[in-house]
Amino acid sequence: MAFAQKTLRTGATPADDQIRVMVVDDAVVIRGLLSRWLDADPGLAVVGSHRNGKRAVDDIEKSDPDVVVLDIEMPEMDGMTALPLMLAKKRDLIVIMASTLTRRNAEISLKALSLGAADYVPKPETTSEVTTSVDFRRELIDKVKALGQRARRRRSAVSARAMRAETAAGRTAAPARPVSNKVNTREAFKNGPASSPSAPRAQFKLRSYPSVRPRILAIGSSTGGPQALQVVMRDLGTAINDIPVVITQHMPPTFTSILAEHVGKAAMRPSKEGQDGEMLKPGNIYVAPGGKHMLVEKSGAGMKIKLTDDAPVNFCKPAVDPLFESIANAFGSAALGLILTGMGHDGAEGVRHIASAGGAVITQDEASSVVWGMPGAAAQTGMCSDVLPLREIGPKVARVIKGVTR
């Protein structure tokens, strides 16, 4: 049964600046707990709570949520069945999949991203673990807020542009229609919406590319990363035949092994989780395993992977900063880094290490990022060599690997 608007905190209608959230989970205890957590944040308002996908789909138009936290396994209608039906009713809806850490659920969560879900959040396996997990609560709230705010900004940009267009045409601007009639969420998160233009490239201080051709490509990503990685790896083509690729994506165990499989299919190259002591091979892709930091270090005439169980960096494990620092130390000016969409600022310090060693970093622009946290922080260092839309990154990286930097 749906909550009355703001039942949990004030009983008042959500304010215009609050992000409207719907929680869908068949476990009443979990559903109530998540709703209380979210509703306790002053920037969020829980407008609906349902035990299965069917009830949630039926309530989308009435509750009009900005974000839906959607469980996968539910009676009557599961999350994967409900997902496209929700997006059909509200095409700019942000859907965050919530699932426990099983291989099956990890597979389903990554598939959901290709069908229009914006992100996922892994749930602890038991109710008691959910109740006591500070990290899970923080991740859930952070993602709802970051993705919800991004969606609201995009809607505002679309509405403002529509009003300007009507005014320019000599008509009285009518109230803007909801962006749900205009924007397809799946395409917006894949390609970057035209409604949220990126800051001009010239706005950022950029460094020249080194004259040395890269001997490794290191990629860091988080929220929106699995989708972005698919695009970039497809676009790289044969450029990575002669160099290894190392990737840190903020993901838990199980998810990273499946991500490696998906990335390998997109790139049509061998791809797997990195193993401690494994020698890097050209044309191969190595993904940092969830729960471990992945580094690269010299080993004789070659380079090998080193996995560590050190404390989280920037609340992340694996983290991008340790990987980037290690490739800066190991490869110097032959290091090429890439920062894709993601929350937070992980990778910014690593960018400084690569730049100081003479290497180059490319970062994704704001318009094409699901969340412009990590790439934004990287761009603001003034030590990147390019800030590009997602669709331009793969071709550019391919040219840089081949020695063409213009």
Q: Which amino acids are annotated catalytic? A: 222, 250, 346
CA 224 vs CA 94, 96, 340: distances in Å: 12, 11, 8
> How crowded is the C-beta side of 44, counted as CA atoms within 13 Å?
26
- Residues sharing a CB contact under 8 Å with residue 274, sequence separation 6 or more, in sequence order: 246, 286, 287, 288, 289, 294, 305, 307
Q: Are 50 and 65 in contact (CB under 8 A)?
A: no
Q: Per the structure block, which two tokens stand in for 64?
A: 């009009």
Sheet holding 119-123, edge to edge: 44-50, 19-24, 67-71, 94-100, 119-123
Q: What distance in Å separates the CA atoms of residue 51 and residue 164, rounded to the nearest whole number?
A: 42
Q: What distance in Å separates the CA atoms of residue 285 and residue 60, rounded to the nearest whole number?
A: 41
Q: What distance in Å separates the CA atoms of residue 153 and residue 43, rounded to the nearest whole number?
A: 15
